[in-house]
Amino acid sequence: MRYKTYWFAGINTSNIELIALLKSWAAISLAFSIALAGLKFSLGFIIIFLMAAITVGLGFLLHELAHKVVAQKYKCAAEFRSDDKMLILAIVLAFTGFIFAAPGAVLIHGHINKKQNGIISAAGLLQI
């Protein structure tokens, strides 16, 4: 896949990052749907999946983008990368009713001090 960069609302991103975010969003939404409804493909499952995509999925997306935006404000390169093994683990564990989601991380490259690192880390919690 050829690496392309894009600008959305002042956020620098790439096609690789967009695919990783979408894949993680879908996997987390699926995992929560399975944990809540089982794997009975019905209208109820689709509704739960959409609710999970809006609530949990959107929360995940905002969390990761918060890290990214703050890191980019400090002139660092920052991109989310998914962890496929952890995405599969989240889906498999969902069948037990247990959710463990660690879909990936924002990788940051650049020169920052300890205070800036703390602010970037806290941004995910605060979703600023």
Q: Which positions are catalytic?
A: 64
CA 67 to chain CA centroid, nearest Å: 11
Backbone angles phi, psi at 79, to 5 degrees: -145, 140
Which residue has 């991380």 as its token pair?
105
Positive/negative CA dihedral, 53, 62, 101, 18: positive
